[in-house]
Structure formats: C-alpha cells, structure tokens
C-alpha cells in the first residue's frame, strides 16, 4: 500500500500528525548518522569523553587494566602531538591517525591477530595498543619493542642500567650471571597458580644463593631490580625481603614501589 502524500492528508488530522512525527524522526536519524560519520573522520575536532573512548577500545582490548591504561595513554599522546582525542584515533590507533592527518588517504587499519606471544601474559592486540599509544616518542617498531620487554624481564643488568638509568657497572653484570635469570616463557594470559608454581620451579635447579659484597656497591638497588624482573614475568608472585633493621625493610618496600612510577622520573630508552 502506497503512503499518502502530504497533500492527500488533512492538516491537523491524526494521520497527518503521525506522518509528521515519523518524518521528524527520519530527519533526526539522518542528521545523527551524518554527525557520527563526520566524527569518525581523522580531521574531526570532536573530542571524546574518556568513557566513550573506553567503549571504543573495549572492542579490541581484552585486559581491563590495559584498557584503562590505553585510554590515558591515548589522551597523553593526543595532547603531546596536538591532535584531537577523537573517534578515529581510538578506532584506528595513533600511527594510522597521524598518517591520515598527514595526507595518507589509506592508513592501515588496526588488524592484529588476537594471539598469544611466547613470554607474554597479555594478548598481542593488547600489547600492540600499549606500544601504539604509549611508545610514540621512539622509533622502535612493535617487534623490537617486544624484544626490549622480553630482555628487561630476564636481564637485571639491562633493566637496571639501560631502562632505569642505574649506575650499574661490570661487577653487576657478574652478579646477573651468578643469580638466576628469569625466563618468561611458559606463562600465558589467564595463567593459574599451578602454572605459576611450575614456571617458578623451572627457573633454576639451585634454590639458594649467597652474594657477599662491600658497602656502597648498590646491593639493595640490584636486589630490588632483580626482584622486579621476577614480577615482570609473573606479576602475582610473592617476594619476601629480609633486612637487618626495620628502617631498611621500609626503605626497600618504598623503593620497590617507586620503581613502577614514571612521575618525575626520567627514563632512558635504549637506542635514544
């Protein structure tokens, strides 16, 4: 049955009012669709709320903590590069957005296989988002970034000297070789306590080590960073630090926590 035209309906009638209501709804829907389409363009100036950004990223990021971190990292990157915190940025990633705004009409979409990477407890998609939004000031590619992460988990000397800018020397390289170097392989996303126990048991046949060294040789700093390599591999691990005095114990506890903070702490990145 064909719909009546406006001229065929009596103005003010119930039929006319219903048709007018439907027409207005169609117009609004078209306006919203046009607005949403324009907001998805790389040059859109529409700034998202963080709650909106989170819903967009939720489609491709599985880990809840990584999701929260990437929402903030994307905001920091947008501010640093002076680009809008818009829909295109969150859907397509930082590098694709920068390319599109520079004139690349066919930026590569973010299509990353949601697979497990050996030595990582996060899926590849989550790791890619962390690299894309958080590592924009450096030139290392995604695979090189993964290699740096893996080395930092197993090499306390590299983590301390090259990442955390500690004054480690060759003697500390000897300490690294003396103590177990944790191998992150074997743990996967969603690992269980039994998986963690089996992983820890495989790290070294020897279970007790004694390292004697002089004062002011960075023993505490080295011990803390060595413990951090274990935490990077297995974040749920429990570590007991025993010291001669309570003050030393509190200091060690504070320093361990402080290592995870970037605020007011310069970080030297390998290759820069």
What was the pLDDT predicted at 232?
95
Beta bridge partners of residue 123, listed in sequence order:
116
Alpha-carbon 137 to chain mean position: 15
The Cα 133–Cα 151 span in angstroms is 21
> What single string gives the DSSP state of each residue in the chain?
-PPPPGGGS-TTSHHHHHHHHHHHHHHHHHHHHHHHHHHTSTT--PPPPHHHHHHHHTTT---HHHHHHHHHHHHHHHHHHT----HHHHHH-HHHHHHHHTT-SSPPP------B-TT-SSBHHHHHHHHHHH-TTS---HHHHHHHHHHHHH-HHHIIIIIS-----HHHHHHHHHS-----TT--TT--HHHHHHHHHTS-S---------TTS-HHHHHHHHHHHHHHH-TT-------SSHHHHHHHHHHHHHTT--TT---PPTT-
**Which position has the token pair 């915190």?**
85
Buried/exposed 105-131: b ≥16 CB within 10 Å, e otherwise? eebeebebeeeebebbbbbbbbbbbbb
Closest CA to 113 of 99, 98, 102, 123: 123
What was the pLDDT predicted at 111?
61
The CB density around residue 230, as the number of other CB atoms within 10 Å, is 18
Q: What does the block give as tokens for 39?
A: 């907001």
126 Cβ neighbours under 8 A, 6+ residues apart: 61, 62, 63, 66
**pLDDT tens series, the chain, 272 aa:** 567 776 777 777 887 777 777 767 766 665 555 556 556 676 778 888 999 999 999 999 999 999 999 999 999 999 999 999 999 999 999 999 998 888 776 555 566 777 999 999 999 999 999 999 999 888 789 999 999 999 999 999 999 999 999 999 999 999 999 999 999 999 999 999 999 999 999 999 998 999 998 888 999 899 999 999 999 999 999 988 888 888 888 888 888 888 887 654 544 444 33
51 Cβ neighbours under 8 A, 6+ residues apart: none
Ramachandran sector of residue 218 (left: φ over 0; alpha: ψ -120 to 50; beta: rest): left
């Amino acid at each position: 049955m064909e719909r009546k035209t406006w001229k065929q309906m009596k103005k003010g009638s119930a039929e006319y009012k219903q048709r007018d209501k439907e027409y207005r709804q169609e117009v609004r829907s078209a306006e919203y669709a046009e607005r949403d389409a324009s907001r998805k363009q790389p040059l859109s100036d529409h700034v998202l709320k963080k709650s909106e950004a989170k819903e967009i990223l939720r489609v491709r990021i599985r880990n809840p903590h990584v999701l929260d971190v990437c929402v903030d990292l994307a905001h920091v990157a947008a501010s640093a590069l002076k680009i809008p915190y818009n829909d295109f940025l969150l859907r397509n990633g930082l590098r694709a957005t920068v390319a599109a705004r520079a004139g690349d009409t066919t930026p590569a979409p973010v299509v990353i296989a949601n697979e497990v990477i050996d030595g990582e407890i996060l899926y590849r998609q989550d790791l890619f988002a962390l690299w894309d939004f958080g590592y924009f000031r450096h030139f290392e590619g995604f695979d090189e970034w993964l290699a740096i992460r893996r080395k930092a988990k197993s090499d306390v000397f590299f983590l301390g000297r090259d990442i955390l800018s500690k004054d480690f020397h060759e003697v500390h390289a000897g300490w690294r070789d003396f103590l177990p170097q944790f191998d992150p392989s074997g743990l996967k996303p969603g690992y269980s306590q039994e998986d963690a126990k089996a992983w820890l048991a495989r790290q070294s046949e020897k279970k007790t080590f004694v390292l004697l060294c002089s004062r002011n040789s960075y023993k505490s700093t080295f011990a803390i960073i060595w413990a951090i390599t274990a935490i990077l591999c297995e974040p749920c691990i429990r570590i007991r630090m025993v010291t001669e005095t309570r003050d030393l114990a509190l200091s060690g506890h504070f320093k361990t926590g402080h290592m995870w903070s970037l605020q007011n702490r310069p970080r030297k990145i390998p290759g820069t």
